[in-house]
Structure 1
Amino acid sequence: MKNSTLYILLILSCFIQPNCLAQKQKKSHFKALVLYENGGHHLDFTKAAKPWLNKLAIDSSFTIDYIENTKAINEAFLKQYQVFIQLDYPPYTWSEESMQAFQKYMNNGKGGWVGLHHATLLGEFDGYPMWKWFSDFMGGIQFVNYIPDFASAKVNIEDKSHPVTKGIPSDFLIKKEEWYIYDKSPRSNVHVLASVDESTYEPDSKIKMGDHPVVWTNDHFKSRNIYIFMGHAPELFENEAYTTLLRNSIFWVAGRK
């Protein structure tokens, strides 16, 4: 009886205060920051990703801010966001301040990170030294090579119990990807969720690394994080397994799964 009375009072208060339900809904919102590339050969992927992300945000009641370089990134700036999506943006050209801010963000457990594709382009590029901390964050790897003429391949889910892989088939086809290889597998330093079966490359390629993780999380950090290698072709947003993986990742790092 007491619970019924409290429920009736809550409903009545919402009639008296029209913003009551809106305020309750607002509490479930989170803010996401998307760092994206506004040029180069990943531009088509960015153009496909933005409307997909915008619709997801509207449908799921969160907000997104977009930036196309790291100039704005500092500690105070990142405190605004519960999710940081590194959308095909490399781990170089960052200022010392932005690097330090991101490192603190990943260590403080108050936000989460989803990195795609270009985020593991680790090495010395365009006159910039390799960001050693980021290499360790990605499992101690360094970029070595990639399949420039692309290949389709089967991706196998390795951890079917993880919230990020919920609702995804045990294996699925990626029709077009560059398939980076690294100087070593990150497996010993990260929790691998999925890997690519290099024997299914079509057309076949000599550019292989053997054990080839493509989705993983680094459990050594307080902040939840997911790296998803696939992120070159805009057609990925027509692949239900891929969009489910990306959606799950965003909500998991936000603490909503």
Structure 2
Amino acid sequence: MTVLQTIAVLLLLLGAPAAPDPHLPQPTYDEVAPELPEGRHDAVLIVSKTNGWRHIEHIPHSNAVLADIAAELGRQSYATENGAIFNDEQLGHFSVVVLNSASGDFLTREQEGAFSRFLARGGGIVALHAAGDDSHTGPWYVHSIIGTTFIGHPGGDDHIEPARIVPDRPDDPLLAGLTFPWTLADEWYSFDANPADNGMQVVASIDEDSYRPGEALAMGAHPVIWTNPRTPGRVVYSALGHTPEAYDDSNYRRFLANAIRWAAGATA
């Protein structure tokens, strides 16, 4: 290759657009609802729609694990990334919606209205990991599902650390069958305030002495799983679940089964 050819190649490379980051897809809003398989009744809807950060590492595996758990509970499930399924008719086929790191404001105003009516008539919501990050800004969603504001997580060498999870409510049905002390390696979210200050009920917390949150992210009392007792339906949020391996952890898998069962209205 001549010097001129080399320069030409370099100029082409410098001028070429950067490849899109799969973690940051272009936000989209869906208008045409998917066609549901027949026979879905009191089923589990698994939604991993992404208009914010996309957890490409865990979503395929965690969706499969959640479907397996639903089947073990004797419930049909349906997984989608089509936000147009949030309409009154189709949501009527489900008793639980699992928001599996669904990020960003992924619903239109009309779709969020259908979701709020689903909760108001007693539907259950299990929100996981990025379903509680700061890419969600809608007042109804933040008030009903998160109850606080995500401020960050450790980065660099401390991005994924083992930490100890401790029960705040040891007899809560969400923790039935779990073994404590429980140590899990994960990405540990911090929030600007304890969600209990906004009426949420904390079920489990992180022992900050067991990992390195850093001064800016230390919360003292550091909730990681909580519920919203203020709604007619049942809402539980878990900040856990960044890594695919978390969904193979026996305690977390048991928690997810408990959460789906509880959100559907069962207590045992």
User: Is it true that 1:180 corresponds to 2:192 in the alignment?
Assistant: no
Cα distance in 2 for partners of 1:150, 1:37 equals 24
Is 1:37–1:43's contact at 8 Å kept on the other side of the alignment?
Answer: no
- 1:214 and 1:229, CA in 2 relative to 1: closer, same or farther beyond 3 A? same
Q: Equivalent residue for 2:79? A: 66
Q: Equivalent residue for 1:17? A: none
Is 1:141–1:184's contact at 8 Å kept on the other side of the alignment?
Answer: yes
- 1:154 and 1:132, CA in 2 relative to 1: closer, same or farther beyond 3 A? same
Shift of 1:41: 5.0
Which one of 152, 176, 179 corresponds to residue 166 of structure 1? 176
Cα distance in 2 for partners of 1:43, 1:139 equals 22
User: Is it true that 1:145 corresponds to 2:152 in the alignment?
Assistant: yes
Q: Equivalent residue for 2:92? A: 79
TM-score (normalised: structure 1): 0.79
Corresponding pairs, count: 222
Alignment of 1:1-257 (within 5 A): 30-37=42-49, 42-109=55-122, 111-122=123-134, 125=135, 130-138=137-145, 140-148=147-155, 149-177=159-187, 179-188=188-197, 189-201=199-211, 203=212, 205-206=214-215, 207-257=217-267
- 1:81-121 deviations in whole A, cap 9, x for unaligned? 01100001025131001111111111111x21100011111
Shift of 1:154: 0.6
Cα distance in 1 for partners of 2:171, 2:82 equals 35
Cα distance in 2 for partners of 1:121, 1:174 equals 20
Unaligned runs of 5+ in 1: 1-28
**What letter is aligned with 2:112?**
M
TM-score (normalised: structure 2): 0.76
SS of the aligned residue for 2:218 comes to coil
**What letter is aligned with 2:190?**
I
Shift of 1:162: 1.3
Is 2:173–2:258's contact at 8 Å kept on the other side of the alignment?
Answer: yes
Stretch deviating more after TM superposition (51-60 or 144-153):
51-60
Q: Equivalent residue for 2:13? A: none
Is 1:154–1:200's contact at 8 Å kept on the other side of the alignment?
Answer: yes
The CA RMSD over aligned residues, in Å, is: 2.2
Cα distance in 2 for partners of 1:171, 1:98 equals 40
